[in-house]
Amino acid sequence: MMSLLRRIAAVTRKEFIHIRRDPRMLASILVLPVIQLLLFSYAISFDVTDVPTVILDQDRSAESRDYLASFEHSEFFRVVDHIESDVEADRAFDTGSAKVAVIIRPGFADAIARGDKADVAVLIDGSEPNSAQLGRAYASALSSTQDRQILVGWAESRGMDVTSMGSLSPQIRTWYNPDRRSADFLIPGLMVVIIMIVTIQQTAVSLVKERDQGTFEQLTVSPIRRGELMVGKVLPWLILAFVETAVIVAVGVLLFGVPLRGSVLALALGSVLFVFSSLAIGLLISARASSVEFANMAGLLVSFLPGFMLSGFAFSLESIPPALQFISYLFPGRYMVVIARSVFLKGADVATVLPQLGALLVYALVSLTLASFAYSRRL
């Protein structure tokens, strides 16, 4: 037993020496993930505020000014110009200086005075669907509020007692992320995507590089068994992946203020199984790759696209086509994103994320078995 551990330790020590002698690789392993986390966290945001808006008031009445004041005082809309014609609204959309145009036609105040419906045109630039959808919702909400105020004023002017009327008062609460901060939603998913990219790509490239240099064949003819060789070569990347995970979690909690409400044990168990699964994917790529360039490209393709598109990191998996939902089960990021967000935001414990932990355990066992078989055939 001791001789087995010594042989594995010797291979692991050799791998760490290789990594230490290559400063660029060490930087890409330890520093680059943190830089990626900072860049993505600051660059990616689903918070929509200060949407540039232009206003065209052709009625120029007290009622039209009151209505437009609701847009000017909103945090969502930012009035950048008061225009004089429809042509200027088209020009603002064409140049990108405005995303929303609010147009009030003549006769707005007269229609309210008669008790008729006063028409307002709200034009929205749909080239950004997220902003367009939110802009439509905000404009509808502001119009509904203004409509109720007009209705109350109309009733009071006719001597009606509106205080005796019933009303609806919804109490809306947002659970888990009450401030609706994008960072709280994005960073747990970013942790999964970054670890997946770095682990898969570095594992695939490093093993292929050593095989191209001829040193891997020298190890295979040594007294070291193939299983010991594989464990010794994978162990350094396993340790470095755990260090990366700890650093990213610390940056997210301390720098961005992401709450860690749940069980650290559940997050640790998920991270261990997720790293093993990612390492197995890297080993599978290295077993089939014919060159470092192919391994680099395949590792990036297999980790980056599924990590972003099929893990639930940026898009809800329920909203993508059923065929892609089925394909997402073939990548471990799907399960780890659920674990990370449940632990960080929902306060989940091990029992809560047990289905995802079980799926990752099966995934790790199956993928490691396939990787070992593929490497045995290659050797």
Q: For residue range 278-296, list pLDDT tens digits in order.
A: 888 888 888 777 777 787 7
pLDDT at 163: 53
What DSSP designation does 83 have? -
What DSSP designation does 176 have? S
Residue ranges of the domains in the chain?
2-44+183-378, 51-164
Is 60 exceeded by the pLDDT of residue 156? no
Instruction: Provide the edge-to-edge strand list for the sheet that holds 120-124.
Output: 77-82, 51-57, 100-104, 120-124
φ/ψ of 263, rounded to 5, equals -80, 125
**Are 230 and 211 within 8 A, CB to CB?**
no
Full-model pTM: 0.73
Q: Which of 63-77, 144-158, 182-196 has the lowest mean pLDDT?
A: 144-158
| Banded pLDDT at 350 (limits 50, 70, 90) | very high
| Banded pLDDT at 114 (limits 50, 70, 90) | confident
Picking from 77, 95, 79, 78, the residue whose alpha carbon sits closest to that of residue 87 is 95
pLDDT at 360: 93
| Banded pLDDT at 89 (limits 50, 70, 90) | confident
**Are 371 and 280 within 8 A, CB to CB?**
yes
Over its C-alpha atoms, the chain yields an Rg (Å, rounded) of 29
| Banded pLDDT at 269 (limits 50, 70, 90) | very high
| Banded pLDDT at 336 (limits 50, 70, 90) | very high
Taking CA 357 as the corner, what is the angle to CA 349 and CA 285, rounded to the nearest 5 degrees? 145
Arch. (CATH architecture) of 51-164: 3-Layer(aba) Sandwich (3.40)
Is 90 exceeded by the pLDDT of residue 361? yes
